[in-house]
């Protein structure tokens, strides 16, 4: 028979360790704070509001017709084949809308034709509007340059320079200065950034002039393309 003393010693040691090292309790993770719960509730409410709005738009037959008409032939084919396209962020609303488009696929030709006609009409209207806008700007620019010509004529006279000023060309975009004493010296002054009574080629360019001509009215003439 084996002696019991060693076994009793081991048992006593184990009991002592268990008394000295109590089991660590596992704590549950903390739940969301009141502020976090309120934010989550607000987010759910906003998502519900958006879903209601999207559902209303998805059920709008005129919107269905518009989107159906904007589809290309390949796009219609993919929808009829069940391929996914995203029109709405709410998945259930998006599925419903795709089902509506699929159900109305037979009307595609009519709506697509209407869309093409509306696009062509819109493009013509836009071109006409742009042309009218550019024509208005041209008229206003022409009037402004004609007025400006009189202003610099007066400035020249105030500086004892009897320089005559005239405009010509498309939309009065060409400026002609006539003065009997004009020569290469005056031309060089303008070429190097100098001016006439404070007016320079940079200023004339800003006013919309594309060409400036200096002439003595006889045999001297020099032009600048701005």
- Is residue 101 domain-resident? no
Answering whether pTM is above 0.95, one says: no
Q: How buried is residue 10: exposed, middle or buried, by Cβ count under 10 Å (0-12/13-18/19+)?
A: exposed
Q: Residue 209 pLDDT > 90, yes or no?
A: yes
- Is residue 31 domain-resident? no
* Mean per-residue pLDDT over the chain, rounded: 85
- Is residue 9 domain-resident? no
Q: Residue 210 pLDDT > 80, yes or no?
A: yes
Q: Residue 12 pLDDT > 70, yes or no?
A: no
- Measured between alpha carbons, how far is 29 from 83 in angstroms, rounded to an integer? 43
Q: What is the pLDDT of residue 168?
A: 92
Q: What's the total number of domains in the chain?
A: 1
Closest to 214 in 3D by CA, of 182, 189, 191, 190: 182
- Measured between alpha carbons, how far is 34 from 31 in angstroms, rounded to an integer? 9
Count CB-CB contacts under 10 A for residue 211. 15
Closest to 141 in 3D by CA, of 204, 190, 69: 204
pLDDT tens string 129-144? 898 888 888 888 899 9
- Is residue 212 domain-resident? yes
Q: Residue 190 pLDDT > 60, yes or no?
A: yes
- Is residue 13 domain-resident? no
Q: Residue 199 pLDDT > 80, yes or no?
A: yes
Point out the least confidently predicted range of 50-54, 65-69, 152-156, 193-197.
Answer: 65-69
Q: Residue 1 pLDDT > 50, yes or no?
A: no
Q: How buried is residue 196: exposed, middle or buried, by Cβ count under 10 Å (0-12/13-18/19+)?
A: buried
The DSSP code sequence of 25-41 is: PPPPPPPPPHHHHHHHH
- Is residue 157 domain-resident? yes
Give me 5's structure tokens.
């003393």
- Is residue 24 domain-resident? no
Q: Residue 127 pLDDT > 50, yes or no?
A: yes
Apex 126 CA angle, 58 and 172, nearest 5: 160
Q: Residue 145 pLDDT > 90, yes or no?
A: yes
Which range of residues forms the domain containing residue 159? 141-225
- Is residue 170 domain-resident? yes
> What phi, psi does 165 have (nearest 5°)?
-125, 135
pLDDT tens string 59-103? 998 898 888 888 888 888 888 888 888 889 999 999 998 888 888
Q: Residue 31 pLDDT > 90, yes or no?
A: no
50 Cβ contact partners less than 8 Å away, ≥ 6 residues apart = 89, 90
């Amino acid at each position: 028979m084996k002696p019991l003393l060693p076994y009793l010693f081991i048992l006593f040691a184990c009991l002592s360790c268990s008394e000295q090292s109590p089991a660590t309790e596992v704590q549950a993770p903390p739940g969301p704070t009141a502020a976090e719960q309120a934010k989550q509730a607000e987010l759910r409410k906003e998502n519900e509001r958006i879903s209601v709005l999207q559902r209303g738009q998805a059920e709008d037959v005129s919107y269905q017709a518009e989107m159906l008409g904007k589809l290309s032939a390949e796009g219609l084919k993919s929808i009829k084949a069940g391929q996914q396209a995203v029109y709405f962020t709410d998945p259930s609303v998006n599925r419903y809308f795709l089902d509506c488009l699929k159900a109305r696929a037979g009307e595609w030709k009519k709506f697509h034709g209407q869309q093409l006609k509306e696009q062509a009409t819109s493009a013509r209207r836009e071109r006409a509007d742009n042309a009218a806008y550019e024509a208005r700007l041209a008229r206003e620019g022409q009037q402004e340059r004609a007025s400006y010509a009189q202003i610099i004529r007066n400035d020249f006279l105030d500086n004892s320079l009897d320089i005559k000023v005239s405009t010509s060309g498309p939309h009065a975009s060409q400026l002609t200065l006539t003065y009997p004493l004009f020569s290469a010296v005056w031309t060089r002054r303008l070429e190097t950034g100098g001016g006439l009574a404070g007016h320079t080629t940079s200023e004339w360019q800003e006013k919309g002039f594309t060409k400036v001509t200096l002439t003595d009215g006889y045999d001297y003439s020099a032009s600048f393309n701005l």
